[in-house]
Structure 1
Amino acid sequence: MKALVVNRTLKRSPEPSHTEAPASVVAERLSEQNVQVTSVRAVDLAIAPGVATDAGDGDEWPRVHSKLLDSEILVIASPTWPGRPSSVAQRVLERMNAMMSETDDADRPVAYHRVAGVVVTGNEDGAHHVISEISGGLADIGDTIPGQAWTYWHLGPGPGPDYLDEQRGRDWAHSTGHAMADNLLGVARALSALPLRAGG
């Protein structure tokens, strides 16, 4: 089984990402259970705006799209800026929108075989809002969202330290991330054994 982690941080590599760190907890848990995990930092790629699978010359979204089609598990990781998903997160969801009209050999939407979850970090309130926005978009596209398929880290409203600079709250975020990984894998296995039918 394969998983794709799409980090929607605003920071380009090799700058440390506070969002990547908790997402790696989920990825490591999946890897421990023999899931092949691939990670992509979307901001490092030239992803054109729009809602098409391929926007033409120079567009690097088709590389991500190919990885999506090859994965049974999708983990979306986003910072909270300001109180909402990052602009990179929105662009990725818009590009994924094209998948709603793509079907597999059984005439099912290509997202039907995939489960998805969300990791959020930030030093202000809004994590549940970000989780809801991203999960809602993924469900519209056709992904299955298991119960408790999310984790987040922040220390409440207002300014504060970032994840890599603070130990407080990590234990809860990590245990929730482990549960998230387990739930994603359990439902992915169930969908593999009993796929959704075309048209529901």
Structure 2
Amino acid sequence: MRAVVVNCTLKPAPEPSNTGSLADVVAGELRERGVGTETYRAVDENILPGVETDMGEGDGWPRIHRSLLDSEILIVATPTWVGHPSSVAQRVIERMDAMLSETGDDGRPVAYNRVAGVVVTGNEDGAHHVISEIAGALIDIGYTIPGQSWTYWHLGPGPGPNYLDSEQGREWSHKTARAMASNLYAVAQALAAWPVPPPPS
């Protein structure tokens, strides 16, 4: 089984990413269960604007798209900015829109029988709103969203330290991350044994 993490931080590598660090907790728990993991920092991938799978020369999205089709688990990780997912996360979702019309040889939409979860960081509230926006989009695309397949970290309203700067709240975020990984893995296994059929014609 394979999992892909798409880190939608605004920070290019090698700058430390709070969002990526919390997503790594989930990925580590999946690896403990024998799942191979791959992480993309989307801001470094030259993902062109658009709603097609391949926007032409220089587009970095097709490589990520291939990884999505080779995996059973997707984790979208995003910081919170002004109460919303990052602009990078929005671009990733826009590019995934093309998957709505892509089907496999069995007639199923390509996102069927794959599970997804969401990781959110930020030093102000809004995490549940961001989770809802990302999860809702992934459901539309065809992913299965298990119960409690998310984790987040923030310190409540107002400015403050970032995830990597403070131990406050980490224990809860990590416990929730472990539950997230467990639930993603369990539902991915269930779908492998009992796949969702193609939509009725």
TM exceeds 0.5?
Answer: yes
Q: Deviations over 1:129-176 (max 9, x none)?
A: 000000000000000000000000000011010000000000000000
Q: Which residue of 2 aligns with 1:136?
A: 136
The amino acid of 1:28's aligned partner reads G
- Among all aligned residue pairs of Structure 1 and Structure 2, give the percentage whose two residues are the same amino acid: 67
For residue 155 of structure 1, what is the aligned residue in structure 2?
Answer: 155
- Residue 174 of structure 2 aligns with an amino acid whose one-letter code is H
Counterpart of 2:47 in structure 1 is: 47
Aligned match of 1:30: 30
CA shift for structure 1 position 113: 1.8
> Residue type of the partner of 1:139?
I
Letter in 1 for 2:196: L
Alignment partners' CA distance in 2, 1:98 and 1:157: 36
* 1:50-199 paired onto structure 2 within 5 Å: 50-199=50-199
Structure 1 residues not aligned, in runs of 5+: none
Q: Aligned to 1:80, what secondary structure does the other structure show?
A: strand
SS in structure 2 of the partner of residue 111 of structure 1: coil
Q: Partner letter of residue 122 of structure 2? A: G
TM, length-normalised to structure 2:
0.99
Q: TM-score, normalised by structure 1?
A: 0.99
Residue type of the alignment partner of 2:140: D
- Over residues 42-82 of structure 1, what are the superposed CA-to-partner deviations in whole Å (9 max), with x where a residue is unaligned? 00011110100000011110000000000000001000001
DSSP-derived class of the 1:77 partner = strand
SS in 1 for 2:65: helix
Structure 2: 5+ residue stretches without partners:
none
RMSD: 0.6
Q: Which runs of 4+ in 1 moved over 4 A?
A: none
Q: Secondary structure at the match of 2:137?
A: helix
Q: State the Cα distance separating 1:17 from its structure 2 match.
A: 0.3
Report the count of equivalent residues: 200
Letter in 2 for 1:143: Y
Aligned counterparts of 1:100 and 1:195: Cα–Cα separation in 2: 18
Q: Note the C-alpha offset of 1:105.
A: 1.1
